[in-house]
Structure 1
Amino acid sequence: MKKFLDNLYKNQSLVYKGFLFILTTALVVYLFPKGGKFKYDFHKGKLWQYETLYAPFDFAIHKTDEEIKQNKDEIESNHLDYFKFDVGIRDLVYEGYKERFNSYFTAEDYSESDRKYLRSNGQELLNRIYEKGVVQNTEQYKGDVLVNVVRGNQEQTILYGSLVKINQLDRVITGFLTERKLQAHGERLKSLYFDIIQPNVFFDEALTKMTLERELAKVTTTRGGVDKGKRIIAKGEVVEGEKYTMLYSLQREYQSKLWNENNYNWILLGYIILVGLTLLMLLLFLKKYRPDVFINNNKVTFIFFNVLVMIFLTTTVVKFNSHYVYVVPMCIMPLILKAFFDPRLGLFTHVLTVLILGFIVPNSFEYVFLQTIAGIVTIQTISELHKRANLFISVGQITLVYIIAYFAFYVIHEGNFNNMDWVNFGLFILNGLATLAAFPLIYIYEKLFSLVSDVSLLELSDTNAKLLKELSDKAPGTFHHSLQVANLAEAAANEIGANSMLVRVGALYHDIGKMNNPAYFTENQTTSVNPHNELSAEESARIIIAHVIEGIEMAKKNNIPDRVIDFIRTHHGTSLVYYFYREASNLDENIDKADYQYPGPIPFSKETAILMMADSVEAASKSLKNPTSTMINSFVEKIVSKQIDEGQFLNANITFKEIEQIKKVLKRKLTNIYHLRIEYPE
């Protein structure tokens, strides 16, 4: 048991990766839609490349989305609006007529017989007006439009034109008076009617909506069926028309029948194997080609997290409406991974994620092709992300590639572009706009996963940053030395294809520990008084060596990223403080060499190795008196060769060829610094 626990402790990093692998696989499979995968891959407009297919069972033919939409459009266009007839308002108008008639036609002005005659005619006119009903004038309805009018529990279909509109009352009243030869009494009758008549037919929006929804719900999603054994499509035939509809219907029926209790476990096992294999390829790639990333659990977690987020977003959109699948900004992932790692890792992870999504998206071949091409374009176009304009330019190029590739697929499928849905191009534009979210996401990921991008490095390289400002105030000589080293190291990194921005920032911060005791370092001594004269060689060496540890502590307090702190740790490696070691050994041959040696570690990347060379060469160059090109060549060779002999670059993954290139750059830059000319033979 103890041995098992010891092995578990020693391999805890691998155990964590195994747990992460299993958890990610389980979550991805859980996100997959609950349905089997149709065993035939077909696309509209392309040839059927399999053997002749016969119906394996009876199934219904599903209508296409266009057919269902057409059915619903027909129902909506033929559906009649509903109006409610309010009997109570009509009765109130009749009561008002009886009450106000005598006030308009008084006994002083009219005889009893005339009043009786006018009252009966006026009543008849009211009956004629309210026979169909009075409605507020509505311009959206024409006179020949049929509408349903509901009176109590009765429903009647009439022409909208048969209803009396409020703005037509004058014409209706005038026509009736002319018919009955009552024009002489027209003014008083009109005043009476305009005073009492009110609309009593109103549009019933709730009833109209309810009846329309009831009719739409009756629309079936199938039409007819296919009997078992019937030929669906022969080998070599084009997948189009009714053949495409039958294949689409068979696919839906097959998937719904496949995913049942009997097959559930087997299908689930198949998904687990395929997803597991894909994620395993990602782990193996990291182990073989990116060992520095593989050993860092934080970075592996970050990569798997991005894969999971992309799959979650895509599956969510597919479940909601697969038509919007291209709105998901898949290119954010290679863009972010390139910002934190390298292009090859970003593209490899992107392609594997797209392959997994091929199981769940419609038209999987088209989707995989489009997203792979877009990922390649992302990797090739995105550079120097800290320059904001570059992101906008790259997103524009990615969107353009999406549109061009989608247009090509549509032409292949349909044979023309007459009926192309241009809304789809809007989806790609939305995709591009969503991809711009990569910039704030990079900042969020930096904080969550303690990673460093070029954007952060650019901020750290600002000489007005807190630590660098403090360094320039307290140790101006060291600050100037750091600037010189940064220029040398950046040029060398560019020469061999290393991360020049990272090297520059590392160089700017590598000596911040000297701020605690600036006077003990020669570059900051402005007088002839040297404080080391009052100390023993061992004490002086201890102060010099301490600037590494103090620099690390200072950087951590100020939240400087670990990748930058690595340069502080390694810029002297395990070398000796040679001046004080030689001074002490002249006095006593039995001194402990470890007391004069930096604690290390030695450089473990190309970037940290470059800084060690640039730092040593720049510092030593200050001791040259009347330097010449020959002298510079000689002392650069001597310093770098000594570092190689001491084994300082054994862990740095740097080749002799690259070291030679770095030496050439250092020689050239120093020659330029000292404004030397090439020495010609006499």
Structure 2
Amino acid sequence: MNKILDFLYKKQSLIYKIFLFLLSVFLIVYFFPTQGKFKYEIIKNKPWQYENLYAPFDFPILKSDEELEAEKIEVQSTHIPYYVFDQATASNILRSWKTKSNTEVDSLIQNTISDNLIQSLLDSIYSRGLISESKRLNNKDLIYLKRANKVQETTYGNLINQDALNLFLNSTLDTLNQTTQTVLKSFFYDLLEPNVAYDQAFNDKLINSEIANISPTRGSVSKGSKIIAKGEIIEGEKLRILQSLKSEYQSEDLDSTSYIMILSGYSLLVALALLMLLLFLYQYRQDIYENNNKLTFIFFNILFMVFLTLVVMKIGYKYVYIVPLCILPLTLKAFFDARLGLFSHVITVLILGFVVPNSFEYMFLQISAGIVTILTVSELYKRANLFISVAQITGVYMFSYLAFSMIQEADFQSIDYNNFIYFILSGVGLLFVQPLIYTYEKIFRLVSDLSLLELTDTNSRLLKELANVAPGTFHHSLNVANLAEAAANEIGANALLVRVGALYHDIGKMKNPIYFTENQTTNITPHDELSPQESAQIIIDHRLEGIEYAKKNNLPDRIIDFIRTHHGTTTVYYFYQKAQQEAPEDVNIDSKDFTYPGPKPYSKETAILMMCDSVEAASKSLKSPNTNLIDEFVEKIINKQIEDDQFENANITFKDIQLIKKILKAKLNNIYHLRIEYPD
């Protein structure tokens, strides 16, 4: 049992990687649509590349979206509308019109007209029905009029609308004088209320019912019928039949054996794609592969983009381009590097290619956009750069889609321009990458260029404390930061990262600042009262003190690595030599007491810092610097580090080191360049 536990403990990192891999495969396949994959690629207006295709079974021909839309419009246009006749309104008006008459009308009734005339007019109007015109039709159009429990078929012209009411009153009152007509018309307009209305709810229900009954198919194809021959252009009816066959194939009910086969196929393909990613990390990004936190972060981002795409596809396949898939390479480039970001993006697109419609078009657009993302997005912490890159990415989407549509539709009017709106929405989604990066930093404890930029602020609390407590060290750190940044730019390393590392690499000297030469203002040094071993230990301990300061102030691990490695396993040579000189001849001085414990630099950036730190610190000892002296001085220090194998773990080449030497020589020559002496 102990052996098993011991084995599990030693292999826990590998076990976690296997678990993460299997869990990712399971989650992706679990949410994949479980349907058969049509084995032919259908590209409109392109020749059929396969052998002659015959119908494998009987299947119906699906109507196109345009045909279905035309039938819906026809249902709406041919629908005979229903109107409701409100008998109660008519009865109330007929029964109580006298109570609503005014003095002027009462006088007319007594002197000129009779009650019977008004009553007759009202009967004529309400027997036909007075309509409120929310939906205007032609007079000859048929309608259904619902009176109580009966439905009467009539024409729209039989109802009285506003225009018909004017004509009706004019013809009926024509025999009366003009004054009487005006008064009575005003009276009727105030008195009358519509008693016929369009039955919106009932008509909508009928129309929706008729639309639901529209058949999605027209005709059928018999088993064995030739669908298309090799070399024929995929267009018109042949395209519709092929799409119908694909839809029928994918919607076919699967038995348990077929279901298991499809799941197994998906699992193998997804596993292969993720395995390629793991192999890439193992081969070219060993530090990321060994770090389970970073590995989890990468897999999480891939899963997140896959799930987001699948959710959008559930809403509608046509919205698939709304998903801002380029957030993935943007995020991974911000935390790691461009090559890993692009590789992970390609793997994600390959996985989604199994389930998205028009997979070749989708993959071409997404991979093209991913490449542009990697090539154009630089210095993400600059807001203008992000907006410019988003515009370029959106432009690539639109340009590529337009090119595909020109091939497939051969007509600008047939292009679905809604996708351009989706591309713009996808671009807007890319703008959320900055808050997303900030969230990831907090959750996964990673550091991006945005955080590094904040750490370069010399007004931060920790750097202000360094400037106050150890001003010489602060000045030294600024000089090293400038040298290291220039060297990193020269060899293509992360200049912002190495600058931040240089600013904080010596914060441990705040513990005992006076014991370090750059902070001493007189010729008296406290080391005179200590043994060489004690002095060396104080010097060596500034590394551990720096790590403690960094952790207390929540500096990222990537910055702490600079503190940990900037002296590698070098020797505090001055005190080692002093100890040898002071020791009796029979006493052997152990060099381990004067050696930094390491580790050695393991990246280009940490190696650059070691070189720049040593050269800048030692350059203070130059008495009368000149070009030759500086060149020999730089060569001597860096060659000594190479001889001591300080860079054996770093991915830095001899060519890189030669370029760094060149930059350091040029910078030091500029620093020590003497001004000409001006006359008094």
> Would the aligned equivalents of 2:332 and 2:340 in 1 still touch at CA under 8 Å?
yes
- Choose which of 406, 414, 417 in structure 1 pairs with 2:412: 417
Q: Which residue does 1:204 correspond to in 2?
A: 199
Q: Which residue does 1:17 correspond to in 2?
A: 17
> Would the aligned equivalents of 2:34 and 2:263 in 1 still touch at CA under 8 Å?
no
TM-score, normalization: structure 2? 0.94
182-191 vs 147-156, which moves further? 182-191
123-132 vs 515-524, which moves further? 123-132
- Choose which of 263, 270, 277 in structure 2 pairs with 1:275: 270
Q: Would the alpha carbon gap of residues 107 and 266 (structure 1) be closer, same or farther in structure 2, given more than 3 Å must change?
A: closer
> Would the aligned equivalents of 2:109 and 2:115 in 1 still touch at CA under 8 Å?
no
Unpaired runs of at least 5, structure 2: 676-680
Q: Tell me by how many angstroms 1:19 deviates.
A: 0.4
> Would the aligned equivalents of 1:101 and 1:119 in 2 still touch at CA under 8 Å?
no
Q: Does 1:462 pair with 2:489?
A: no
Q: Which residue does 1:119 correspond to in 2?
A: 115
Cα RMSD (Å): 2.3
> Would the aligned equivalents of 2:134 and 2:198 in 1 still touch at CA under 8 Å?
no
> Would the aligned equivalents of 1:358 and 1:368 in 2 still touch at CA under 8 Å?
yes
647-656 vs 48-57, which moves further? 647-656
Question: C-alpha deviations, 1:243-265, integer Å up to 9, x for none?
Answer: 11111111111122263333111
Question: What secondary structure is seen at the aligned counterpart in 1 of 2:423?
Answer: helix
Unpaired runs of at least 5, structure 1: 678-682
Counterparts of 1:425 and 1:185 in 2: how far apart (Å)?
Answer: 65
Counterparts of 1:380 and 1:28 in 2: how far apart (Å)?
Answer: 29
Q: Does 1:175 pair with 2:171?
A: yes
Q: Which residue does 2:126 correspond to in 1?
A: 130
Counterparts of 1:146 and 1:52 in 2: how far apart (Å)?
Answer: 53
Q: Which residue does 2:291 correspond to in 1?
A: 296
Q: Which residue does 1:665 correspond to in 2?
A: 663
Counterparts of 2:402 and 2:210 in 1: how far apart (Å)?
Answer: 37
Question: C-alpha deviations, 1:309-345, integer Å up to 9, x for none?
Answer: 1111111111211111111111111111111111111
Question: C-alpha deviations, 1:373-403, integer Å up to 9, x for none?
Answer: 1111111111121222111111111111111
Query: Within 5 A, what are the aligned runs for 1:496-535?
Result: 496-535=491-530
Query: Within 5 A, what are the aligned runs for 1:219-298?
Result: 219-257=214-252, 259-298=254-293
For 2:9, the aligned partner's letter is Y
Q: Tell me by how many angstroms 1:171 deviates.
A: 4.4
Q: Which residue does 2:627 correspond to in 1?
A: 629
Q: Tell me by how many angstroms 1:676 deviates.
A: 6.0
Counterparts of 1:433 and 1:104 in 2: how far apart (Å)?
Answer: 68
Query: Within 5 A, what are the aligned runs for 1:82-93?
Result: 82-93=82-93
Q: Which residue does 1:432 correspond to in 2?
A: 427
TM-score, normalization: structure 1? 0.94
Question: What secondary structure is seen at the aligned counterpart in 2 of 1:232?
Answer: strand
For 2:172, the aligned partner's letter is F
> Would the aligned equivalents of 1:177 and 1:183 in 2 still touch at CA under 8 Å?
no
Q: Would the alpha carbon gap of residues 641 and 159 (structure 1) be closer, same or farther in structure 2, given more than 3 Å must change?
A: same
Q: Would the alpha carbon gap of residues 145 and 421 (structure 1) be closer, same or farther in structure 2, given more than 3 Å must change?
A: farther
Q: Tell me by how many angstroms 1:167 deviates.
A: 7.0
Q: Which residue does 1:601 correspond to in 2?
A: 599
Q: Would the alpha carbon gap of residues 504 and 122 (structure 1) be closer, same or farther in structure 2, given more than 3 Å must change?
A: same
Q: Which residue does 2:48 correspond to in 1?
A: 48
Q: Tell me by how many angstroms 1:186 deviates.
A: 4.2
Percent identical: 58
Q: Tell me by how many angstroms 1:534 deviates.
A: 2.4
Counterparts of 1:188 and 1:501 in 2: how far apart (Å)?
Answer: 89
Question: C-alpha deviations, 1:72-107, integer Å up to 9, x for none?
Answer: 122123334432211011111111146678988879
For 1:602, the aligned partner's letter is K
Counterparts of 1:263 and 1:313 in 2: how far apart (Å)?
Answer: 27
Q: Tell me by how many angstroms 1:474 deviates.
A: 1.4
Q: Does 1:163 pair with 2:159?
A: yes
Q: Tell me by how many angstroms 1:193 deviates.
A: 3.6
Q: Which residue does 2:3 correspond to in 1?
A: 3
Q: Tell me by how many angstroms 1:140 deviates.
A: 5.2
639-648 vs 320-329, which moves further? 639-648
> Would the aligned equivalents of 2:105 and 2:187 in 1 still touch at CA under 8 Å?
no
Q: Tell me by how many angstroms 1:185 deviates.
A: 5.5
Q: Which residue does 2:617 correspond to in 1?
A: 619
Question: What secondary structure is seen at the aligned counterpart in 2 of 1:130?
Answer: helix
Q: Which residue does 2:678 correspond to in 1?
A: none
Q: Which residue does 1:569 correspond to in 2?
A: 564
Counterparts of 2:201 and 2:225 in 1: how far apart (Å)?
Answer: 47
Q: Would the alpha carbon gap of residues 167 and 2 (structure 1) be closer, same or farther in structure 2, given more than 3 Å must change?
A: same
Counterparts of 1:184 and 1:527 in 2: how far apart (Å)?
Answer: 119
Question: What secondary structure is seen at the aligned counterpart in 2 of 1:131?
Answer: helix
Q: Which residue does 1:680 correspond to in 2?
A: none
Q: Tell me by how many angstroms 1:138 deviates.
A: 4.4
Counterparts of 1:100 and 1:485 in 2: how far apart (Å)?
Answer: 98
Q: Would the alpha carbon gap of residues 101 and 182 (structure 1) be closer, same or farther in structure 2, given more than 3 Å must change?
A: farther
Q: Would the alpha carbon gap of residues 167 and 662 (structure 1) be closer, same or farther in structure 2, given more than 3 Å must change?
A: same
Counterparts of 1:170 and 1:52 in 2: how far apart (Å)?
Answer: 71
Counterparts of 1:475 and 1:98 in 2: how far apart (Å)?
Answer: 104
Q: Which residue does 1:641 correspond to in 2?
A: 639
Counterparts of 1:606 and 1:184 in 2: how far apart (Å)?
Answer: 103
For 1:464, the aligned partner's letter is N
> Would the aligned equivalents of 1:58 and 1:225 in 2 still touch at CA under 8 Å?
yes
Query: Within 5 A, what are the aligned runs for 1:353-392?
Result: 353-392=348-387
Q: Tell me by how many angstroms 1:189 deviates.
A: 4.6
Question: C-alpha deviations, 1:636-656, integer Å up to 9, x for none?
Answer: 222222222222212112222
Q: Tell me by how many angstroms 1:480 deviates.
A: 0.7
Q: Would the alpha carbon gap of residues 319 and 105 (structure 1) be closer, same or farther in structure 2, given more than 3 Å must change?
A: closer
Q: Which residue does 1:149 correspond to in 2?
A: 145
Question: What secondary structure is seen at the aligned counterpart in 2 of 1:662?
Answer: helix
Counterparts of 2:316 and 2:83 in 1: how far apart (Å)?
Answer: 36
> Would the aligned equivalents of 1:629 and 1:676 in 2 still touch at CA under 8 Å?
no
480-489 vs 256-265, which moves further? 256-265
Question: C-alpha deviations, 1:549-584, integer Å up to 9, x for none?
Answer: 111111111111100110000111122222222222
Question: C-alpha deviations, 1:180-224, integer Å up to 9, x for none?
Answer: x68786466546544542211123222122122111111111111
Counterparts of 1:535 and 1:55 in 2: how far apart (Å)?
Answer: 95
Question: What secondary structure is seen at the aligned counterpart in 2 of 1:223?
Answer: strand
Question: What secondary structure is seen at the aligned counterpart in 1 of 2:218?
Answer: strand
Counterparts of 1:47 and 1:633 in 2: how far apart (Å)?
Answer: 68
